[in-house]
Amino acid sequence: MAVNLEEKLRPPELPMAPYPPKTVMLRDGRIMVVREASREEVPVLLKAVHPTLFVDSDFYDLVGSRLYSELLGWVKHRVRNEFCLVGLVDRELWGIVNSRMYDKNLGISLHTLTLKRGFRVGQHLFAAKMEHHMDFLGQNEVYITAEGPIGFRKWMIEFELEYDPNVQHELGGARSFTLTRALWEKHKPRLCVGRRPVAKELLDASYPIRIPDDWEISAQVALESGQKRAAEEIKAMERKFKKDTEASV
């Protein structure tokens, strides 16, 4: 009885082509392996995502909590047609993206989470996710949204995505933008990079996934926004000093 009920609870799934792994050279010369993650690797991914739930900057807490839920739904077979790609440098997890097929022609982009900032990891992984939708799953459109301004600049503006006011993205009914096949073919040469095939020894060396300590993840993802806040505080102090100096003259 329990087995039959579980079968009824699981959503049906479409057959999905695997994502061929590739390598991407980062801005500092290091090599990132981009490959598909398996359900068996979800527990370690959840452990990596967990610290971001408590980082209140650049919408990391919102993105992290939603991604955590989606990965949990995937491993428990409660999300339909989901896939997850990871970016790894020396086995260390630097970024995660996930997405799903709505049907054979339409993809739904879910989330992009960068754990190591300053290397364009998010941009490379987002492009890889779109590559999977368009080139390997053979889809014609992908619905995309963004929780914050950084994602908006890097996805909507870079790819010139088309806003459709008649579509509510499944992430809370947010504004939805569409990557069409024409836009993909236009921007792919510039935004989607990498080399295939990946050498066997390099691919083998990407297992098992290694994650940084919780404090390191929290510090890294908050670093950029912290630097911006510090710069703003310094500018504010300089303005106040100038104002006070002029008032005293």
pLDDT digits (tens, 9 = 90+) for 48-64: 999 999 988 889 999 99
Q: Partners of 88 in the beta sheet?
A: 33, 93
CA pair distance 159, 55, nearest whole angstrom? 28
CA pair distance 114, 54, nearest whole angstrom? 15
What ranges do the domains of the chain cover?
10-225
Q: Which CATH number fits domain 10-225: 3.30.420.10, 1.10.600.10, 3.40.630.30, 3.20.20.150?
A: 3.40.630.30
pLDDT in tens, 76-129: 999 999 999 999 999 999 999 999 999 999 999 999 999 999 999 999 999 999
CA pair distance 52, 84, nearest whole angstrom? 18
CA pair distance 234, 226, nearest whole angstrom? 12
Residue 181 tokens, joined: 């096949």
CA pair distance 60, 37, nearest whole angstrom? 21
Q: What is the DSSP letter of 40?
A: G
CA-nearest of 55, 230, 46, 50 to 148 is: 55
**Does the pTM of the predicted model rise above 0.75?**
yes
With a cut of 60, say whether residue 140 has pLDDT above it. Answer: yes
Residue 63 tokens, joined: 């993105």
CA-nearest of 168, 61, 35 to 108 is: 168
